[in-house]
A and B are shown apart, each in its own frame.
Chain A
Amino acid sequence: MDSILEVKDLVKNYGDFTAVKGISFDIKDGEIFSLLGPNGAGKTTTISMLSTLYTPTSGDATIGGHSISKDPMAVKQVIGVVPQEIALYEDLTARENLIFWGQMYGLSGKFLNNRVDEVLEQIGLVDKAKNQVKTYSGGMKRRVNIGVGLLHKPRLLFMDEPTVGIDPQSRRAILDTVKNLNQQGMTVLYTTHYMEEAEELSNRVGIIDHGELIAIGTQDELTKQVGHTDTLILHIGENEDSEALAESLKGLDGVLEAITVDHEVSIVTHQAEDVLATVVGAANERGIKIRSIDIREPNLEAVFLHLTGRALRD
């Protein structure tokens, strides 16, 4: 399969701070590729460079055979971008927004009107098309935000954390839309800090942290990197000292890693059942009440934890 996007040694500096540290990867035509990483990992900066908004400090990328540095206007014709923030005119209606943005992509006349109708259908807002965007819920705005990126039928769609801050129902709708678009042949670069989304959508995943691409591959390939491990998640009370519990678990036999996030303690182990009794005993010793326990098979969260020693939500 041909690559629609090839990134080579892309670097972005802001003064002394390096936001993206020489990342390289490619995206095959027709796949969904996710960049998974916590907030501040460099996902948005990477997308901003690939969409020609920011100039790379060094390195380059080609999209559809066009260099982002040398031929940005040709790149813009190939890509569609759904930015993280809702970039719409709130005083315009959804239809007016779509028409305006379609015009900015060179669409006009009957073709534009038909395309707007199709997109409204696609994002499920035909009935509300004549309402001003400011009257919409967050989820509806997100859908229009996505619709704008689809108008000119881009070959490659960049979606930068499109589900941030919305309700589960809207999130479900957006994930389904991404899958549908991909089934229709659109290639998607999807950034997220939600492991579940990357797992559900992606053919391949790149894990990014502190501006570096620390792992790349299919979900199977990535989880194999950490070997067969289970993740044991202890849900404890709000007033309990989760930090102390995690510290005390780290030295125990069979515990590979123990970290705390909010009111959860995640324990990476080769076999969850082998350490379960020990972990519960350690909690009881400290008088910490466990509300529930989850055991998870190897996943991207575990990969991230294995590679960085931190949780994705840190």
Chain B
Amino acid sequence: MKKLFLIGLKDLKLMFRDRAALTFMLLAPFLLTIGMGFVTGRFSGGSTGLSDIPVVIVNLDNNQLGDALVDVFNSEELADLMEPTASTDPEAARQLIESNEASAAIIIPKGFTESIIPSEGAMSNPNYTEPEAVQIEVYTNPSSPTSAGIVKAVVDEFISRVEEGRTSGMTSFVGLMQSGLVDPQNAESEAQDLFQNVDQTESSAIALRTDKEGPDAVEFDLLAYFAPGMALLFLMYTVSYGGRSILAERAGGTLPRLMISPTQVVQVLGGKVLGIFFMGTAQVGILILASAILFQVKWGDPLGIAALILAAVFGAAGWGMVITSLARTPAQVGSTGTAFMLIFGILGGSFISLEQFPPFMQTISKITPNAWGLDGFTTLALGGTLKNLTEPITALLIMGMFLFGVAVLIFNRNGLVQQ
């Protein structure tokens, strides 16, 4: 295990001494991210780069909170970002999603407000029981994950504010009653007053990149999409660079020398893979850290970021090993790796959002670590946490394990060095 680690560490050290590789691994993605930032107006003030997200709202509640949510989507602050349309038929709204005419449908069920704010006279009824929670349905379009994610984030924020208001209202009210400050006979009207204010706090708290946004405001920074896009694009270069080093060591004699030393083949190969893993992790980690410090990109949950980086590097390293196992010379790995980098970059959404691809292309994109990685990074940028990353992380780990298995089979067949 120690030798495996030492071989990996040695490769990481060599990477940091290779100026050409460093330029390609760190500087190029960084510059491209900056370029994307300028192209999309990220550095020229205010724009998220996304606009007029088509969203259908079915307000069956027709009461205070339902109306408040509709108001949020029709607010001036979201005017550029959202293009809401009203509907009365939930099925018709879902149909619009199926036919790809909208990114998301929000169905506010009947009784939503009453499930949170009891109606007048209800609490004085001796048989009053707290109504069951009624949930808002957000029906999202899988071909527009980013737009749908933004819509969902706005709704989630609204609900969380309502829930927060309700909880604090209840707590305060019970406290007032226990201290005798509220007469039980006036309890209902007092409670009504308290709950009436719940819906009035929402719209100001939900904002997208406004100057007035609060600490909990929902924000989607387009650089949080393009920066990982570029990092994942060049991650494919890094893994093929690592793979190339296996063949370069074979040609240069250091790999046979390793095999002659009292080191097991599995330690040598494992060490080289670990080296690729170290290099990829260092590259993406540095890019994320640099963009967070220099451009204040909000990447989201740090734990989720760390887990996603490791999973993405693992998946990409699997591809790197397969490319290496099929190649005969370092140059072949270099050219094939560059081709894969570009194809995966395009397919995986590093240049153009996957939402703009037809459905079959979106399905094909799932073979790339870029697509899964970007899915995860977008989820985190929209406020998701590690627990929301089960799908992309699992997919990346399965991808990596499968590809490593394939690479080992090919290496076994061809021999790591001439036998």
Contact = CB atoms under 8 A, between A and B. Distances in A.
Contacts of A88: 254
Contact of B260 (A52, A86, A89, A103): A52
Interface string B221-249: 00000000000000000000000000000
B252 interface: yes
A96 B254 CA distance: 14
A214 interface: no
A87 interface: yes
A280 B84 CA distance: 108
Interface stretch (A76-84, A201-209, A271-279, A298-306): A76-84
Given A53-B256, A85-B252, A104-B3, A92 B14 contact: yes
Contact of B419 (A55, A86, A103, A105): A55
Contact residues on A (Cβ < 8 Å of other chain), bracket: 20 to 34
A104 B17 contact: no
A136 interface: no
Given A76-B262, A85-B252, A101-B261, A54 B418 contact: yes
A85 B14 CA distance: 20
Contacts of B264: 73
A95 B170 CA distance: 71
Contacts of A104: 3, 6, 258, 261-263
A91 B418 contact: no
A114 B388 CA distance: 52
A100 B256 contact: no
A89 B254 contact: yes
Interface string A34-78: 000000000000001001111100000000000000000100110
B18 interface: yes
A132 B263 CA distance: 25
A114 B263 CA distance: 22
A109 interface: no
A103 B258 CA distance: 11
Contacts of B18: 91
Interface string A141-156: 0000000100000000
A106 interface: yes
B6 A87 contact: no
A89 B10 contact: yes
Contacts of B259: 52-53
9 contacts: A48-B256, A73-B262, A73-B264, A76-B260, A77-B262, A79-B260, A92-B10, A92-B13, A101-B261
Interface of A: 48, 51-55, 73, 76-77, 79, 81, 83, 85-89, 91-92, 96, 100-101, 103-106, 132, 148
Interface of B: 2-3, 6, 10, 13-14, 17-18, 252-254, 256-264, 417-419
Given A89-B14, A91-B14, 9 more contacts: A52-B259, A73-B264, A86-B253, A89-B254, A101-B257, A103-B2, A104-B3, A104-B261, A105-B262
